Amino acid sequence: MRVAKSGALKDMFSPFREATDDERLKEQHIIDSMHELFVASVARGRSMPIERVRSLATGEVYPTQDALANGLIDRVGDIEDAVDWAVERSDAPRRVRLVRSHRSLRDLALGRASTLVASALGLEAEATLLSGPLALYDTQFTPR
């Protein structure tokens, strides 16, 4: 492989070669800086001491009850609860329509892979084209 570049670090994250010691140091600095921004943001947003957040910010996934116990979430709910919460906080009228796409049994079982499977099997994929994530539409919201 041949590389043409205009600066020493232009291909710093290239998957085609090992990183240099200098590149590893710079990469670690970027990761550490982003992690500190995340920790500070969570500490501010959750009104928690930064050291407490740092001790929790290990990269692990917390089960719901642990997240509640650690103050990382306030409560548990569904999409309707989330919409109600947003309306209460914004003091906006509740004019949100939930639009759910129609999903076939194949879509529910296989998700996005269903399009590939259907195509490989020569099946019609109309239903997969109509499927998609839950969409929130607010047709009349006007910020105050």
pLDDT at 133: 44
Q: What is the pTM of this model?
A: 0.57
CA 70 to chain centre: 21
Q: How far is CA 125 from CA 99, 114, 132, in A?
A: 21, 8, 13
SS3 content of the chain, % helix, strand, coil (to 5): 50, 5, 45
117 pLDDT tier (thresholds 50, 70, 90):
low
Averaged pLDDT for residues 9-15: 91
**pLDDT tens per residue, range 32-72:** 999 999 999 999 999 999 999 999 999 999 999 999 999 99
Percent of residues, the chain, with pLDDT higher than 70: 69
For residue 79, which of 59, 65, 61, 99 has the smallest C-alpha distance?
Answer: 99
Q: Is the pLDDT of residue 137 over 60?
A: no
**Contact status, residue 98 vs residue 79, Cβ threshold 8 Å:** yes
Dihedral angle of Cα 101, 107, 112, 113, to the nearest 10 degrees = -170
Please report which residue ranges of the chain form alpha helices under DSSP H: 21-46, 50-56, 64-69, 79-90, 105-110, 113-121, 126-130
Would strands 96-99 and 135-138 be described as parallel, antiparallel, or unpaired?
antiparallel
